[in-house]
Chains A and B, each alone.
Chain A
Amino acid sequence: MAAPTRTQWRKAGARTGHFGILAAFVGFLAFPFYWMLITTFKETRDLLNPDNNPFLFNDPPTLEHLRVLFFDTLYVQWLINTTIVGVLVVGITLLLAIPAGYALARITGVWGQQLGIGIFLTYLVPPTILFIPFSRVISLLNLQDTIWSLVLVYPSFTVPFCTWLMMGFFKAIPRDLEESAMVDGCSRLEAFVRIVVPISIAGILTVVIFSFTLVTQEFVYALTFITSSRELTVSVGVPTFLVRGDVYFWGSLMAACFIASVPTAILYNLFVDRFIAGFTMGAIK
């Protein structure tokens, strides 16, 4: 075989460089989760021995931390709370965002674009401005310390963005389909319900995943409105209640973090492309 040409050298070099860059980034981004995973299964005395190589299992792996997490703490309750809030908030969001997104994509005219951008911009008003007045409002409504406070408030940040996303998805559906249905005998509303919505299932699922993720991530409102441990969501419960005084139960803590992060990420990954498509479609006339 002949010696490699200069082009082949260059190509091999580029491939190695490409691989190296990817490895570095993936390492940086995924390392904390890998670390969570390992820590979950290591004996506490292994973890707390500064002379041990932390990459090795110096004592055999253990399921003790998982046991403690699931049976001795309120973790499961927090997971349940988070799921309940998630499902309800997603439901409310869909009910509000789907019709609004459709209206903005189709029926309204030039000022529809402006309104769409306006709605989108409210997403940028951060919880860290609104949480203080909200805390007062919530206590006035007697929703203090319940998950209902979250069900009420969370749509305030899911609805704007999801309306924008749905607007993008609906814009991508050709008007011809609905017009054909209307000629066949449907009113616009019927055409919407019977034709457009079923076709947009993929987009709707994306909105569902995205809102659910936003709900599981939320921290500030949950921290502000809820104080008793039984009512907390995972996002707040873990940092505030898995630390007893100054002692960090690292094993269980890391287990808690890993379990609540990775499954959602896998689900999210399946929909990221559509998410971007809807997001950018909303910006095109």
Chain B
Amino acid sequence: MTSITASTAPTSLWHRLTRLGDREQVLAWLMLSPAVLFIVVLVGTPFLLALFYSLSNVTVGSTEMAFVGLSNFEAITANPTFWRSLGNTFLFTFVSQALVVVLAKVLAMALMKDFRGKWLVRLLVILPWVAPISLGSIGWLWIFDSIYSVLNWGLHQMGWLDPEARLFWLGREDLAMGSIITVHVWRMLPLATIILLAGLSAIPADLHDAAAIDGARFWRHLFQINLPLVMPIMLVAVLFGMVFTFTDMIVIFILTRGGPYDSTQMLASLAYFTGIDGGDLAEGAAISLFLFPLLVVVAVVMLSVAKRSEVT
């Protein structure tokens, strides 16, 4: 029996490494472990630490760390600011997400057609998403400025506002929440639109033709063909948006600092002000942990969407 002998035994390091590269299981683990390890250490450990801190009396100033049971949580839940923040966070998240979904659907449909200058339109559309959030928010800060706001100027010009009056976009409780929601919708719209565009493009052209022949007009087509087929990916966009909105503190930090009178305080910003500004790390950690339940819900929903979408 003839045998095909390999060339002379490998001696160089590269050669030995590549022989190792033939054992697929080993290779798989080698390639995966740095990333997995890194994630476990840098995401898992701090998370556990957050849990631990919330049950301790850690502060910025001292190195003391003693177990105090649920006293942080008791302090938090006794504080009306916390409940206000929790309510605000839900309101903020659901209203802005609802707006984003509807607006993104309209914009995605408008972007489906080809037209001249489409690349420029797309560039302008993704600007809010790509620009650093803090900087975009500062832009809005200038637009919302109580004295020099271009919005106020515009309203004066159109006669809808008394020349002497000013709208305190960030200073009045109801307006402040509306302004925050506007900025957040502005920021999240591009990502949702792009994801939805991908979903719309994935619908085979034949289906639209068949529906046209079968007799579907605009609204029937939209609700019975278009929307159901885009639903899975829309769900992904919504879930993403919810996570980013629910856990955001940047927009609030820049625009209102949680004011006026905590009317725009959110869980994440409250955690920052309590933990870092205020120095009480333990209580800050405890507040931030209230973000977690929603994330679990989102994760579960995403997993079930992933399972169900393996069907064509």
Contacts and interface: CB of A to CB of B under 8 A. Distances in A.
Contacts of B111: 22
Contacts of A187: 18-19, 21-22
Interface string B267-301: 11001100110000100110011011001001100
Interface stretch (B116-124, B170-178, B219-227): B116-124
A95 B139 CA distance: 36
A239 B198 CA distance: 35
Contacts of A100: 31-32, 34-36
A216 B129 CA distance: 12
B242 to A, nearest CB: 10
B254 A32 contact: no
Interface string B18-37: 11111011011111101110
Interface stretch (B77-85, B90-98, B207-215, B243-251): B243-251
Nearest to B292: A129
Interface stretch (A1-9, A59-67, A101-109, A198-206): A101-109
A235 B39 contact: no
B267 to A, nearest CB: 8
B303 A117 contact: yes
Contacts of A159: 35, 38-39
Contacts of A133: 46-47, 49-50, 52-53, 285
A285 B127 CA distance: 32
Contact of B247 (A128, A160, A213): A128
B205 interface: no
Contacts of B126: 265, 268-269, 272
Interface in A12-52: 18, 21-22, 25-26, 28-33, 35-36, 39, 47-48, 50
Interface residues of A, number: 96
A194 B162 CA distance: 70
A179 interface: no
A36 to B, nearest CB: 5
B113 interface: yes
A277 B194 CA distance: 11
Contacts of B103: 25
A130 B31 contact: no
Q: Tell me which of B103, B111, B134 has the highest count of chain A C-beta atoms within 10 A of its own C-beta.
A: B134
A57 interface: no
B288 A129 contact: yes
A86 to B, nearest CB: 12
Contact of A29 (B39, B52, B189): B189
A235 B288 CA distance: 22
Given A134-B46, A189-B27, A25 B36 contact: no
Nearest to B103: A25
B254 A239 contact: yes
Given A96-B34, A99-B32, A269 B123 contact: yes
Q: Is the interface of B mostly helix, strand, loop or mixed?
A: helix
Interface in A105-133: 107-108, 115, 117, 119, 121-122, 124-133
A184 to B, nearest CB: 14
A31 B151 CA distance: 12
A238 interface: yes
B42 interface: yes
Contact of B110 (A18, A124, A135): A18
A107 B136 contact: no
Contact of A124 (B58, B137, B253, B299): B299
A100 to B, nearest CB: 4
Contacts of A262: 127, 131
B12 interface: no
Contact of A261 (B60, B127, B250): B127
B310 A285 contact: yes
A21 B110 contact: yes
Contact of B281 (A135, A268, A285): A135
A186 B137 CA distance: 52
B159 interface: no
Nearest to A52: B153
A32 B18 contact: no
Interface string A186-219: 1111101000000000000000000001001101
18 contacts: A18-B115, A29-B127, A33-B127, A36-B142, A54-B153, A99-B35, A100-B35, A103-B32, A125-B47, A128-B272, A133-B52, A133-B285, A136-B281, A137-B49, A257-B135, A262-B131, A269-B130, A283-B309
Interface of B: 17-22, 24-25, 27-32, 34-36, 38-39, 42-43, 46-47, 49-50, 52-53, 58, 60, 103, 106-107, 110-111, 113, 115, 119, 121-128, 130-143, 147-148, 150, 153, 186, 189-190, 194-195, 197-198, 202, 233, 243, 247-250, 253-254, 267-268, 271-272, 275-276, 281, 284-285, 288-289, 291-292, 295, 298-299, 302-303, 306, 309-310
Given A35-B139, A108-B32, A272-B122, 20 more contacts: A21-B107, A22-B111, A25-B107, A26-B124, A29-B189, A29-B190, A99-B30, A119-B35, A155-B38, A155-B42, A189-B20, A189-B22, A220-B250, A239-B137, A248-B142, A250-B148, A253-B138, A266-B123, A283-B306, A285-B310
